[in-house]
Each structure stands twice: as C-alpha cells, then as structure tokens.
Amino acid sequence: MIIDVKHVSWKREKKMILQNISWQVNPGEHWCLVGLNGSGKTTLLNLLNGYIWPTTGTVTVLGHQFGECDLRELRKKIGWVSSSLQQKLYGHETAGRIVLSGKFASIGLYEQPEKQDEEEAISLMAFLGLEELSERTYDTLSHGERQKVLIARALMASPRLLILDEPCTGLDILAREQLLKLIDKIARQPGCPTLIYVTHHVEEILPCLSHTLLLKRGKVYTTGLTSKIMTSQLLSDFFDTSMEVLHQNGRFWISLTEPSTIS
Ligand SMILES: Nc1ncnc2c1ncn2[C@@H]1O[C@H](COP(=O)(O)OP(=O)(O)OP(=O)(O)O)[C@@H](O)[C@H]1O
C-alpha cells in the first residue's frame, strides 16, 4: 500500500484540526484531495511527510510506519511540490541547476553532480518540454514555468509518491491547461509515481486522477472513484451550495445554480 492512514486525529490548542481520518491509497491509483480553505489539506500533507505527528492513529507511507522508520530516508521517496518550496529556492539559480538539485534533495546545488545526473536532468527537461528554460535563472521564469521546473526537480529524485499541492494557484487559464497537460504526460509514463493532487478546484481534476478524497472541516466527507464522486448532488451537499457538474472531455466543470444565495 502506498498510503495507509488509520483513525488519525490531530489536535491543536484544544481544536480538532483533523478528526478520525482513514485513507488508503493503493499502487496504480492517483488521487485528488479536494477541500475548501481551512479544511485540513495542508495538515494532512504535513502528517504524510512526517512533519507533524498524529495525536491519535497511525500513518504508514510506502510501507513505513511513522515512529518506526528513518523519516529522512522516507522523505527522499516523496516528492512535494508546494508554494512554500517556491519561496525557498534561490532566484539566481538556473532552472537546469534547480532541477539537478532535486537529485540531492537540497535547496541549491552544493555537491558536484555526476555526469550521469546531468544527463538525466537534461533528458527529463527535454521530456517535459523545458529544455529552453535550462539556462534561465529562476527569477526570470513565469509562475507556470516555475511550477514545471519544480515538478521536474521533484522527479529527479525518482520519488514513489508525488504530491502536487495546489500547483495551478495563480495561473491564468492557458498556463493552467499547459501545466495540467504536463502532469497528464507524467501520469502516462510507465513507472510514474503515485500522484496526490491537492486542489480547491474541481475543474483541475484530470482523468488520470482515478480516486478522490473530499475533506470537509477536518473530516473525510467521502472517498472513492472520482467518476462516482463528481456528481451534482454529491458536490452540492459537500459545498453546501446548489451546483451543477458537467462532465466534458474527461474533466468536470461546475456552475452554481443559485449564485445569488451565497452569503
Ligand atoms: N499549528 C497550528 N495551530 C493551530 N491551528 C492550526 C495549525 N495548523 C493549522 N491550523 C488550523 O487548522 C485548520 C486547517 O488548516 P490547513 O492549513 O490544513 O487547511 P487547508 O485545507 O490546507 O487550507 P488552504 O486551502 O487554505 O491552504 C485551519 O483552521 C488552520 O487555522
């Protein structure tokens, strides 16, 4: 099993941030994690990476139960692309060196890379269509280009689990679609890591994301096949707002049926 979270709760300042979360991710599945602001998505990701510990329950990732394994070793097998990573990177580094640094899980490149690593970074960037960015410094890249470079960096470590935490935030519609196309391309590769795609936006859910977890106020609202979850009835109940879901070209598009009722 890739992820096995059992009856996990996390409490802070007398507040239950996550309550009795159970979630299993099997090999061959790709998951979407959907929840509104403050529903507990980031907290759940922090638990998966061992940055925080459950108040109760157990977390097992890639067969390693937390508390009984070397977290530093485990984290090398988990790629995590998030906005907080964006902020940590050095703007003067070239995109090529940032991708290469993923091999060493470092911010900046301190070790002398092997020729083989350099070749791997070049071919990965070529596969993802990023070769023209290789010599550009990170601070000259657009937001969408940065996200692609960060995904390439995560892939350099050959992770078994790749967490994409709201990767389309701040992108215009075209940049968003370009980034989603790249993620879809990665998902189609044999041996692709298990994807966990975190979002507020149903429109971003790609057909490759076979399963969905809906998180609401710190609890699992439901889990299951994405195709079964993305219905007008279920999402209206989840968002407490009447909405219609249109299924088109393998994607889901939402419209509010009574926008004026939102307070
Ligand atoms: N260390 C902490 N101490 C107290 N409260 C916390 C802590 N970390 C998170 N919370 C609270 O837990 C709730 C869930 O936060 P979390 O960041 O996990 O939500 P989220 O779904 O990722 O939200 P967003 O989509 O806005 O990023 C929020 O109410 C937040 O204020």
Counting Cβ atoms within 10 Å, is residue 84 exposed (0-12), middle (13-18) or buried (19+)?
A: exposed
Query: Domain ranges in the chain?
Result: 84-158
* Cα 103 to ligand 1 centre (Å): 30
pTM here?
A: 0.93
In the chain, the amino acid numbered 149 is: V
Which pLDDT does position 140 carry in this prediction? 94
- Please choose from 18, 37, 43 the residue to mutate so as to test ligand 1's pocket, defined by most ligand atoms within 8 A of CB: 43
* Cα 137 to ligand 1 centre (Å): 33
**Beta bridge partner(s), residue 3:** 25, 61
User: Is the pLDDT assigned to residue 220 strictly greater than 90?
Assistant: yes
User: Is the pLDDT assigned to residue 258 strictly greater than 70?
Assistant: yes
- Residue 13 CB–ligand 1 contact under 6 Å: yes
Distance (Å, rounded) from C-alpha 27 to C-alpha 40? 24
Q: Report, as an integer, the average pLDDT of 181-199.
A: 96
Closest Cα to atom 10 of ligand 1: 17
Q: How many CA atoms lie within 13 A of 91 on its CB side?
A: 6
Q: 1 or 89: which carries more pLDDT confidence?
A: 1
Q: DSSP strand E in 101-231: where?
A: 161-165, 194-199, 211-216, 219-225
- Residue 199 CB–ligand 1 contact under 6 Å: no
User: Is the pLDDT assigned to residue 67 strictly greater than 80?
Assistant: no
Distance (Å, rounded) from C-alpha 3 to C-alpha 161? 9
- Number of residues written out for the chain: 263
- For 89-133, what is each residue's pLDDT tens digit? 777 889 999 999 888 765 656 667 788 888 999 999 999 999 999
Band of pLDDT at residue 260, cut at 50, 70 and 90: low
ipTM reported for the complex, 2 dp:
0.96
